[in-house]
A = this chain, B = another copy of it.
Amino acid sequence: MREVVEAIKGNGKFFLATHLNPDGDAIGSAVGFGLALKSMGKQVTVYASDGVPAICRFLPGVDMVIDEAKEEDISGSTLILLDCNTLERAGLKGFTFKRSIVIDHHQTESPFGDVRWVEPREPATGSMVFRLLEDLGQEITPDIATNLYSAIAIDTGVFRYANTTADVLEMAALLVRAGADPVEITERLYNSWSPDRYRLFSLAQASLELHGPIAMSIVTLGMFQETGTTGEDTETFVNYPLVMDTVKVSVMLKEKEGDVWKVSLRSKGDIDISRVAVQFNGGGHRNASGCSFEGNIADVKQRLLNSLREIL
């Protein structure tokens, strides 16, 4: 962290970027950090190539996020990658920066970055930003606190996942004292489903198949049409089957277009599901990963089941 602190103190222009399909930790940590850098008098751009997902639009300061990488913002900037560790993953392939810093809690190794601060034990990139701001002696305003609390809430499943510790609960308490509203935040992050989305959820649950410790659900284009929903509406569906004591791995297949499937993988405890995702050119964390497939559904299911059975 010391090197990151020095790089921040020693530079004036920053280009913050996070990963494709950004989640609450990606946006919350980038915007929270962006707000802090601004209040330190730095020139800051916050970039998310895919824009801000609907679920994160309530975050204060989120208007500063742009989805276009402009030469004027990049020129002379120190890049800070948040919650990812390659240019590709941030949608910045081919761009060059004066200098680059990686702040990430993902396991996947990559050599990218002049300064690398990667902590797979940290529950969220948001918690790393919190520590960084403390170290910088930077005030946590209510807006920053709201972004960081949201980041941590999303990546710990609101203090339920295996990465929940006394430290993270204490940090959450400090963020609430700094002005984050835990009730409003979880309401926005988790209770903002449309009735259509809830119908999609019912249909997805009804599709559930159990293969021993593997739960597999399927969301088809037909279901999206029937309920008037889109791919974004399936967010968190894959977590639900994990409530079953017999289920160790939950898989959700989401049809993107004919015979193209986006696969979400979740596992409990020590089961490293990223090993399966990596086999199919995907990636992620030990307990939450993803990848894509092309092929007919029966074939895709079989290939996934074969791979999953090898690690179970």
Contacts and interface: CB of A to CB of B under 8 A. Distances in A.
Interface of A: 158-162, 164-167, 169-170, 172-174, 176-177, 182-183, 186-187, 190-195, 197-198, 201-202, 205-206, 208, 210, 241-247, 268
8 smallest A-B Cβ distances: which pairs? A166-B176, A169-B173, A170-B173, A160-B186, A193-B243, A202-B205, A164-B182, A166-B173
A193 B158 contact: no
In this complex, which of A169, A205, A208, A242 has the most chain B Cβ atoms within 10 angstroms of its Cβ? A169
A192 B244 CA distance: 6
A190 B160 contact: yes
Contacts of A243: 190-193, 198
Contact of A202 (B161, B182, B202): B202
**Looking at chain A's contact residues, is the secondary structure mostly helix, strand, loop, or mixed?**
helix
B246 A195 contact: yes
A83 B14 CA distance: 53
Contacts of A192: 243, 245
A244 B183 contact: no
Contacts of A174: 166
A133 to B, nearest CB: 18
Contact of A206 (B161, B173, B186, B202): B202
A176 B164 CA distance: 10
A170 B190 CA distance: 22
A198 B244 contact: yes
Given A198-B208, A201-B205, A205-B202, A164 B191 contact: no
Nearest to A174: B166
Contacts of A177: 166
Contacts of A166: 173-174, 176-177
Contacts of A241: 198
Contact of A183 (B164, B182, B247): B164
In this complex, which of A160, A191, A242, A244 has the most chain B Cβ atoms within 10 angstroms of its Cβ? A160
A206 B159 CA distance: 29
B158 A159 contact: yes
Contacts of A161: 183
Contacts of A201: 205
Contacts of A164: 182-183, 186
A306 B41 CA distance: 58
Nearest to A205: B202
A50 B109 CA distance: 53
A252 to B, nearest CB: 15
Given A166-B177, A193-B244, 4 more contacts: A160-B190, A167-B173, A194-B244, A198-B208
A176 B169 contact: yes
A296 to B, nearest CB: 26
A271 to B, nearest CB: 14
Contacts of A170: 169-170, 173
